């Protein structure tokens, strides 16, 4: 089949119409995706610059997830220390209540005191978040990395708040109680097996009990003071992680904004372009029609 010959004017108008149709398709694509640069073909430099910024933002948001989990781990420990302080305060209250109690009541108070100490040990063992317990061993460590830099991180060492290491003596040393039953003798009630071993009716023993009770309460105050010191460290680390979490979030937003400035389309401008291109297309169709009128005139000669 022979090729159809087109006049130069028809071919020129047809080419212009095809070009306009291509621009219309490109503009419609930008309007539908919102991207002026969606592939390296559009603009290789901007595409890869934007991709680098987006990848950086994605990596930082992954770090932020780890930071947020670190905050939760520390908050778990912080919540546990608050509960532990409440239990120690109850132990102080038990000692004060035993001052004016009879032998039967003191026996019950001894059991209650030992149970409170036991519950502190159980609470420490339960203060775990995703398998990490920062209160039951000095070998425990929380390590949170903020970026791909090896030194950009926060490390929090654990403490040993088990019964054998948690309680303090009146002088501030470690009580080192092997069991809850031996705790009383190490915090002030030296040689005693419990509150009930002191005779209520004997003035000398009552005075001795009160003196030992004062020592025990002072020891528990030292314990609370040490607990609050460790809690303050934990709270300080929580504040650091929260600041880093907020910074990472804002930083990632800045990176995403920068990537968008390189690739996002101006929808108002693209909409105006589409309208202009559609108008040009209609005019091209008319121009193509005019270019064909001369050939139609030749056809009229054969009629």
Residue with tokens 């929380």: 142
| Amino acid 1: pLDDT | 46
103 phi/psi in degrees, rounded to 5: -65, -40
> Six-digit token pair at 169?
């003596």
Could you please state the CATH topology (level 3) that the domain comprising 57-262 is classified under. Answer: f41 fragment of flagellin, N-terminal domain (1.20.1330)
d(CA 116, CA 180): 9
Q: What is the pTM of this model?
A: 0.74
d(CA 191, CA 272): 94
Distance of CA 88 to the CA centre of its chain: 32
Per-residue pLDDT 10s for the chain (303 aa) are 455 555 566 566 666 656 666 666 666 565 556 666 766 777 788 888 888 888 989 988 889 999 999 999 999 999 999 999 999 999 999 999 999 899 899 999 999 998 999 999 999 999 999 999 999 999 999 999 988 787 889 999 999 998 878 888 888 788 776 665 678 888 888 765 788 888 888 888 889 899 999 999 999 999 999 999 999 999 999 999 999 999 999 999 899 888 877 775 555 665 666 566 566 666 666 665 655 565 555 555 555
Provide the sign of the torsion angle of the four alpha carbons 271, 273, 279, 281, taken in this order: negative
d(CA 226, CA 207): 29
Which residues, other chains included, contact 215 with Cβ-Cβ below 8 Å and sequence gap of 6+? 170, 187, 188, 189
Q: Are 89 and 160 in contact (CB under 8 A)?
A: no
Q: Between the CA of residue 180 and those of 113, 162, 212, 217, what are the distances in Å?
A: 8, 11, 17, 16
Provide the sign of the torsion angle of the four alpha carbons 226, 229, 233, 239, taken in this order: positive
168 phi/psi in degrees, rounded to 5: -110, 155
Domain segments of the chain: what residues? Answer: 57-262
- DSSP designation for 155: E
Q: Are 74 and 237 in contact (CB under 8 A)?
A: yes
């Amino acid at each position: 089949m022979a090729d159809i010959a087109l006049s130069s004017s028809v071919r020129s108008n047809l080419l212009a119409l095809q070009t306009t149709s291509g621009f219309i398709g490109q503009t419609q694509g930008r309007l539908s995706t919102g991207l002026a640069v969606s592939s390296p073909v559009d603009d290789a430099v901007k595409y890869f610059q934007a991709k680098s910024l987006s990848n950086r933002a994605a990596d930082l948001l992954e770090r932020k997830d780890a930071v947020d989990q670190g905050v939760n781990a520390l908050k778990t420990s912080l919540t546990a220390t608050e509960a532990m302080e409440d239990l120690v305060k109850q132990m102080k209250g038990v000692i004060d209540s035993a001052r004016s109690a009879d032998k039967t009541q003191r026996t019950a108070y001894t059991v209650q005191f030992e149970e409170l100490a036991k519950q502190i040990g159980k609470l420490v063992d339960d203060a775990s978040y995703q398998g990490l317990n920062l209160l039951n061993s000095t070998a425990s460590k929380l390590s949170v990395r903020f970026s791909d830099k090896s030194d950009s991180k926060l490390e929090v060492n654990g403490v040993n708040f088990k019964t054998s290491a948690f309680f303090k003596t009146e002088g501030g040393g470690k009580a080192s109680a092997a069991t809850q039953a031996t705790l009383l003798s190490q915090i002030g009630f030296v040689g005693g097996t419990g509150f009930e071993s002191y005779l209520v009716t004997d003035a000398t023993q009552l005075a001795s009990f009160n003196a030992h009770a004062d020592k025990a309460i002072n020891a528990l105050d030292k314990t609370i003071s040490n607990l609050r010191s460790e809690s303050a460290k934990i709270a300080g680390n929580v504040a650091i992680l929260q600041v880093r979490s907020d910074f990472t979030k804002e930083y990632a937003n800045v990176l995403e904004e920068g990537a968008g400035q390189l690739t996002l389309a101006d929808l108002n401008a693209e909409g105006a372009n589409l309208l202009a291109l559609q108008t040009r297309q209609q005019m091209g169709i008319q121009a193509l029609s005019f270019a064909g009128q001369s050939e139609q005139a030749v056809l009229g000669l054969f009629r």
